């Protein structure tokens, strides 16, 4: 791992054992993107970038060298207005109303380690030796805008992080209209674009499309990263698949409005850019003030999509997630939501917990309805005090009763929301996001608190803190159940109103930083109607996310498979729910529901007291099995074998770091009459080790399981699944 600067040719070379990333200063002033891919040695890096004069419609900003046009130069951080007509990375408005800027190289700094980002989540290092950082400083001297491009490479990960810091060193205020986190120009367009799209209960479905002249934008304007589009895109070589070919991933560590662009221009190059969505965004920079963009994490893989995913998995699991639960196995839980919804009392909760104890459950989670006068979703959000009609002994009594059964206790909150029918709203009607004179559009009969306001953040933090101190609570499910409308703040002046959405995210991150720091022994899980805010920003504070409100086993195959493109299994909440499923009304076996949910942080979301004796025995076996394989599942390496987006079958394997153990999960949705014989070829195990396979006699060489395969048999009917455990009983040959 090293970052070097060739002064003779103006070339920066960011190099690791995994890859090279090369930047060249054109005319000693303009940073251009030269190369990103497999490692290459120094020597001729200055010869890669070629120049050619184009027609007059690509103007020439340097009269003495007409081979240079910003419209064709592969720039590292492009502007609009001085001959580049493609998607700009930034735009700043000046006091005279103009938006023309031109950044040129001023200086740079190379140092060990990785900087923290002010008020924002980011990947981190625990030792400065793990990373090296380049800060490339550009300046527009006519207005005093200093722009610092921050690049970090890692010793153990094929990743680069990028972010940008803007500093107003001038004498007049500036307004940022666009401030993306990164931009990369590829010299060709022979790529497909992969992104993860969907909707509520159908999150992160894989979409792969061919790049063509023009622009593809993946974005959210909903106030959060959203169910509809995840803040991730990837460029895939035409021949790239799960195991082969070049893949370039782009993931934004941010939970609010974002945009990712892939633009193919007439000469065949491709510009990829990503950051805060410029739509309805601006940021006023007074003289002396600065603005920090969120961080983009860029991953290169030469061996396909699977390699890219495993790079993100390890980086995010070990250097994005934080706290004691980062490396600790997560408890098996039961959540009462689909068992009772709002209709429960302390005795009912205790009965579910008691049934859970007999089955091996470790944690009971009390969901919505325990506070205020919350008998439906039309009231009480913001009134974070216990409903004594349901829980006459308070939380202290209920938690004590659950703890006496040997279970930990968890609690659901929706701290960012406020109900119009609440004491808090009646006291502070201006505390919600709103625009004076406009209606306050409700979603799920609730409004959104204005987390851009310090007083609101402090008040909510205080309420949550009091509840968490009132009883031995060890788990919090942090929910958020609507998109933003009427985005405005009563505390901001007119010229700063378009800062509201980003200031909201900064406020939320501040609250999360405070609470997770004060309560390090509590496992926090993020939720937004399921997976509506499944993003790296939230994972920095909460190491797992409720993957989807849809826990139907068949639906979850695509949801969990798509989620695994970027996010590790240790971040996915996955539960067994009742049938008919409450979202799609499908009937699937308890076995398949369990096998799907075991590929995540395992739990149940149903009324355990309604199980038959046979179901109780089956659930006991599921929980016992999961506890046995839990370290492997949550911290192993995942290899995808069969895609639910390509056929009737889904399969994946999770392998321990030392290759000595593995879990193989296979799922078939619909039965096929008179089917052919089926072998499943494994990945990730050691071809030179011998493995015992559950249910099979004898030892199987790893290369046999990888190249001949594992025979799939004994499945009858629709919605079938099977799990095999592999354990090595020999040393590598």
Task: Confirm or deny that 481 is annotated as ligand binding.
Answer: yes
243 — alpha (psi -120 to 50), left (phi > 0) or beta?
A: alpha
Between the CA of residue 511 and those of 190, 222, 447, 478, what are the distances in Å? 44, 21, 19, 12
Task: Confirm or deny that 549 is annotated as ligand binding.
Answer: yes
Q: Fill in the DSSP letter of residue 677.
A: P
260 — alpha (psi -120 to 50), left (phi > 0) or beta?
A: beta
Q: Specify whether the CB–CB gap between 444 and 375 falls below 8 A.
A: no
SS3 619: helix
| Pair type for strands 601-605 and 572-577 | parallel
Which member of 71, 383, 450, 549 is catalytic? 549
Containing 92, the helix (H) or strand (E) segment is strand 90-93
First to last CA, the chain: 32
Select from 273, 262, 105, 256 the least CA-distant residue to 180. 273
- Measured distance CA(281)–CA(32) in Å, rounded: 27
Phi, psi of 179 (to 5 degrees): -150, 75
| Pair type for strands 544-546 and 523-526 | parallel
Task: Confirm or deny that 699 is annotated as ligand binding.
Answer: no
- Measured distance CA(32)–CA(37) in Å, rounded: 16
Q: Specify whether the CB–CB gap between 143 and 166 falls below 8 A.
A: no
The sign of the dihedral angle between the CA atoms of 369, 371, 376, 379 is: negative
Task: Confirm or deny that 444 is annotated as ligand binding.
Answer: yes
Q: Specify whether the CB–CB gap between 346 and 393 falls below 8 A.
A: yes
Task: Confirm or deny that 114 is annotated as ligand binding.
Answer: no
Task: Confirm or deny that 478 is annotated as ligand binding.
Answer: yes
Between the CA of residue 199 and those of 209, 228, 230, 251, 479, what are the distances in Å? 19, 5, 10, 19, 17
Q: Specify whether the CB–CB gap between 375 and 471 falls below 8 A.
A: no
- Measured distance CA(90)–CA(5) in Å, rounded: 26
Phi, psi of 188 (to 5 degrees): -145, 180
Residue 127 a catalytic site member: no
Task: Confirm or deny that 477 is annotated as ligand binding.
Answer: yes
Which member of 246, 479, 637, 686 is catalytic? 479
Between the CA of residue 571 and those of 201, 327, 425, 521, 524, what are the distances in Å? 18, 12, 34, 17, 11
Residue 450 a catalytic site member: no
- Residues of each annotated binding site for substrate: 200, 367-368, 444, 477-481, 527, 549
Q: What positions carry a catalytic annotation?
A: 479, 549
- Residues of each annotated binding site: 200, 367-368, 444, 477-481, 527, 549
């Amino acid at each position: 791992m090293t970052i070097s600067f060739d002064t003779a040719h103006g070339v920066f070379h960011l190099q690791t054992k995994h890859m090279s990333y090369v930047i060249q200063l054109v005319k000693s002033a303009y940073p251009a993107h030269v190369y990103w891919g497999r490692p290459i040695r120094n020597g001729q890096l200055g010869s890669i970038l070629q120049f050619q004069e184009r027609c007059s419609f690509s103007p020439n900003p340097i009269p003495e060298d007409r081979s240079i046009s910003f419209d064709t130069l592969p720039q590292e951080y492009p502007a609009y207005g001085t001959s580049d007509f493609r998607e700009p990375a930034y735009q700043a408005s000046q006091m005279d109303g103009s938006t023309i800027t031109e950044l040129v190289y001023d200086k740079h700094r190379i140092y060990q380690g990785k900087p923290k980002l002010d008020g924002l989540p980011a990947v981190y290092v625990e030792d400065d030796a793990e990373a090296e950082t380049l800060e490339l400083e550009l300046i527009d001297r006519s207005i005093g805008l200093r722009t610092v491009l921050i690049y970090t490479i890692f010793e153990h990960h094929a990743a680069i992080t990028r972010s940008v810091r803007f500093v107003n060193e001038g004498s007049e205020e500036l307004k940022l209209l666009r401030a993306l986190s990164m931009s990369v120009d590829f010299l060709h367009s022979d790529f497909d674009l992969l992104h993860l799209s969907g909707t509520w209960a159908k999150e992160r479905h894989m979409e792969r499309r061919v790049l063509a002249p023009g622009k593809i934008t993946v974005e959210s304007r909903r106030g959060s990263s959203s169910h509809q589009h995840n803040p991730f895109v990837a460029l895939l070589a035409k021949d790239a698949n799960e195991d082969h070919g070049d893949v370039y991933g782009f993931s934004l560590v941010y939970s609010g409005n974002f945009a990712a662009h892939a633009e193919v221009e007439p000469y065949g190059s491709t510009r990829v850019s990503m950051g805060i969505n410029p739509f309805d965004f601006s940021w006023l920079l007074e003289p002396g003030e600065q603005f920090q963009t969120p961080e983009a994490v860029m991953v290169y893989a030469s061996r396909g999509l699977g390699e890219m995913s495993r790079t993100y998995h390890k980086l995010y699991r070990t250097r994005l997630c934080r706290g004691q639960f980062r490396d600790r196995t997560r408890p098996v839980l039961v959540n009462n939501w689909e068992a009772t919804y709002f209709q429960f009392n302390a005795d009912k909760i205790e009965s579910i917990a008691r049934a859970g104890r007999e089955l091996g459950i470790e944690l009971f989670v009390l969901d919505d309805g325990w506070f205020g006068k919350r008998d439906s979703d039309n009231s009480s959000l913001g009134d974070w005090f216990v409903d004594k009609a349901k829980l006459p002994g308070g939380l202290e009594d209920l938690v004590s009763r659950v703890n006496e059964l040997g279970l930990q206790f968890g609690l659901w909150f929706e701290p960012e929301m406020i109900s119009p029918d609440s004491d808090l709203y009646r006291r502070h009607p201006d505390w919600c996001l709103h625009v004076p004179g406009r209606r306050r559009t409700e979603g799920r009969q609730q409004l959104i608190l204005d987390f851009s306001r310090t007083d609101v953040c402090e008040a909510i933090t205080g309420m949550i803190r009091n509840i968490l101190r009132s009883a031995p609570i060890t788990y919090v499910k942090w929910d958020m159940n609507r998109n933003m409308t009427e985005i405005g703040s009563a505390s901001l002046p007119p010229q700063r109103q378009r800062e509201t959405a980003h200031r909201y995210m900064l406020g939320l991150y501040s609250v999360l930083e405070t609470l997770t720091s004060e309560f390090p022994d509590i496992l926090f899980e993020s939720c937004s109607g399921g997976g509506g805010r499944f993003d790296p920003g939230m994972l920095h504070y909460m190491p797992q996310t409720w993957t989807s409100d849809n826990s139907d086993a068949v639906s979850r195959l695509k949801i969990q498979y798509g989620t695994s493109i970027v996010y590790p299994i240790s971040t996915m909440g996955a539960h067994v729910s009742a049938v008919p499923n409450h979202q799609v009304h499908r009937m699937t076996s308890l076995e398949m529901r369990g096998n799907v949910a075991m590929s995540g942080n395992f739990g149940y979301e149903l009324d355990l007291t309604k199980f038959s004796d046979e179901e109780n025995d089956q659930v006991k076996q599921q929980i016992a099995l999961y506890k046995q394989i839990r370290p492997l599942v949550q911290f192993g390496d995942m290899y995808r074998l069969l895609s639910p987006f390509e056929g009737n079958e889904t399969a994946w394997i999770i392998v321990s770091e030392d290759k000595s153990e593995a879990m193989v999960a296979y799922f078939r949705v619909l039965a096929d009459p008179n089917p052919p014989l089926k072998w499943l070829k494994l990945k990730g195990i050691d071809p030179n080790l011998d493995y015992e396979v559950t249910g099979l006699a004898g030892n199987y060489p790893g290369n046999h399981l990888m190249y001949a395969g594992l025979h799939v048999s004994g499945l009858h009917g629709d919605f079938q699944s099977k799990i095999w455990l592999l354990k090595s009983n020999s040393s590598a040959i």
